[in-house]
Structure 1
Amino acid sequence: MENLPKKVRSKKLNARVDLTAIVSVSFLLIIFFMVATELAKPKIMALSLPEKDPVWDGVIRCGAGIDYRVITVLLDDKDKIITYSGLLGYSDKLPKEFKYGADGIRKELINKKNKIQKYSGDSNRGPIVIIKPSKKCNFKNLVDILDEMAISKIETYAIVNEFTPEETKLLAAN
């Protein structure tokens, strides 16, 4: 039995794992997902729409009531804006063409707002603006007109994508 080979025992190495790299990668992933989540949140612009009331419904159905408060803004290509008050065809005022900026649509909106508030005697009753972007209108023009609403402090407006036949003819003529 003396000739039996001795068992070779391997040295036990220290089984420590260096976690520094894993911790660094974990923190980088946490930071990445926090930033990605923050950037993925949609940016929202406050939008006030007209309340449902019988007078507003009357304007749409029969062209009476608060007709003087309704301003329709048609957006077309090449930064063209056409506005009219009330309902097209029922008003004695012709549609007007404007450009963006302080001397264009902004001045018109502020003048209309002041006239409406003076006429109604109520500083809380401003214009009701219906924004209608055409298919030729670009996104920048829509954002610009929303900026003009905020600058002019017009609180009641809506974006509508349906055109009446009269509005289609008006855009085609200009």
Structure 2
Amino acid sequence: MQNLPKKIRSKKLNSRVDLTAMVSVSFLLIIFFMVVGELSKPKVFDFAFSEKDVCRGTIACIDTSRLYTILLDENNKIVAYSGLLSDSSETPKKSEYGRKGIRKEISVHKKSVDERMISIGKPKNSVIVIIKPTKSSNFKNLIDILDEMKINNIDTYAIVDQFTPEEEKLLASN
């Protein structure tokens, strides 16, 4: 018999992978997305008050001069007024969409409210816009008004579907 060369076998390495770092990264990603999801929720403020009940119990009174109500009616009509309709010294203004219409009105009202709030030492309190679309207004009008809120940097606004009797009379007269 011949002396055959011995086969050299390679040494098998341990093929175990350490997943500790992967687990840490996955937990960090889970926490990150949970926090981002929580922080991206919209801010909501309860506007369930009537004109006669602006101050409710323990909730602080709302300065009615900060309120600006926009009524959306059919055929692209807008009626807007400041404060409460029953107490307003100003007559409601008819307006139209666009730069020279409702955008200018919102901007003027926001500026006056901001100046007044800074003068009394409450610079974070700005205008509160209440948007009230009628059943005869269309969805495009609502989107256009929401665009105006974004353009004018209005932080606090609400879409309300309840009308006061004074507002119903106002819309019926137009």
> Normalized against structure 1, the TM-score is what?
0.65
Structure 1 residues 10-56: Cα deviation after superposition (integer angstroms, max 9, x where no partner)? xxxxxxxxxxxxxxxxxxxxxxxxxxxxxxxxxxxx8544378xxx9
Q: Secondary structure at the match of 2:157?
A: strand
Structure 1 residues 77-131: Cα deviation after superposition (integer angstroms, max 9, x where no partner)? 1111101111112111110011000110011111111100101104432110110
What is the match of residue 79 of structure 1? 76
Q: 1:96 aligns with which of 79, 93, 98?
A: 93
Structure 2 portions without partners, runs of 5+ = 1-40, 56-60
CA distance in 1, matches of 2:124, 2:52: 22
Confirm whether residue 139 of structure 1 aligns to residue 132 of structure 2. Answer: no
CA distance in 1, matches of 2:136, 2:50: 31
Work out the number of aligned pairs and report it.
127
Q: 1:50 aligns with which of 34, 45, 50?
A: 45
Structure 1 portions without partners, runs of 5+ = 1-45
> Normalized against structure 2, the TM-score is what?
0.65
Equivalent AA in structure 2 for residue 113 of structure 1: K
What is the match of residue 127 of structure 1? 127
CA distance in 2, matches of 1:162, 1:58: 10
Q: Is the 8 A contact 1:77 1:138 kept in 2?
A: yes
What is the match of residue 17 of structure 1? none
**RMSD of aligned alpha carbons:** 2.6
Q: Secondary structure at the match of 1:72?
A: strand
Structure of larger gyration radius = 1
Q: 2:111 aligns with which of 111, 114, 122?
A: 114
